[in-house]
A = this chain, B = another copy of it.
Amino acid sequence: MAASKKPVLYTYFRSSCSWRVRIALALKGIAYDQSPVNLMKDGGQQLTSEFQTVNPMQQVPALKIDGIILSQSLAIIEYLEETRPNPRLLPEDPKKRAQVRMIAEHIASGIQPLQNLSVLQQMGEKKLEWAQQCISHGFKALEQILKETAGRYCIGNEVTVADLCLVPQVYNAERFKVDLTAYPTICRINKALLELEEFRISHPSCQPDTPSELRA
């Protein structure tokens, strides 16, 4: 039966959206297989007609699970949360859930897409400056919000979907050499999260498709 097979994650080691889903799968203890899609090789393996039948959006991550294929990282995570609720990644209180989703969406719609490959390719020489500017602008707002909502993690002391978005975005910020000294709350939470095994084993530096020269 298709639904009883192990889920398959279509993923790329360095894709921050793929990393969000890898963390969710790890936290929920869901065993899965990886099917790597190299976004750089052959002009981008996500553009092949073969992959387009998996995900017409031609993006990773995509997750084959329960007989269907889902894409879009937050939609995948919400599905996992509804079908595998333990441990929970959204608080019980609706106002707190809204705060979690607000931070997740701020990163997933307000920061990450602006520094994505397709936009950067249009920016030519201004590429690095543009990425830094988008991330800094988003982090400035995020820092202010986290001062109200954070405990040990983004919202209080439990790991939530917001944290799954935060850590991969800080990783991108570091790749683009963003000066993070103005964001002490973001840095503190990122550090605390990276101490958790589920964040470490899903890290871009140790995936099956991580090139040997980038391995931790």
Contact = CB atoms under 8 A, between A and B. Distances in A.
Interface of A: 56-59, 66, 68, 70-76, 78-79, 82-83, 94-95, 97-98, 101-102, 104-106, 108-110, 112-114, 118-119, 122-123, 126, 130, 134, 141, 144-145
A56 B137 CA distance: 11
B108 A105 contact: yes
A36 to B, nearest CB: 21
B66 A95 contact: yes
A97 B74 CA distance: 12
Contact of A97 (B59, B79, B97, B141): B79
A34 B111 CA distance: 27
Contact of A122 (B79, B97, B123): B123
Contact of A56 (B72, B76, B101, B144): B144
Contacts of A122: 123, 126, 130
B105 A75 contact: yes
B97 A72 contact: no
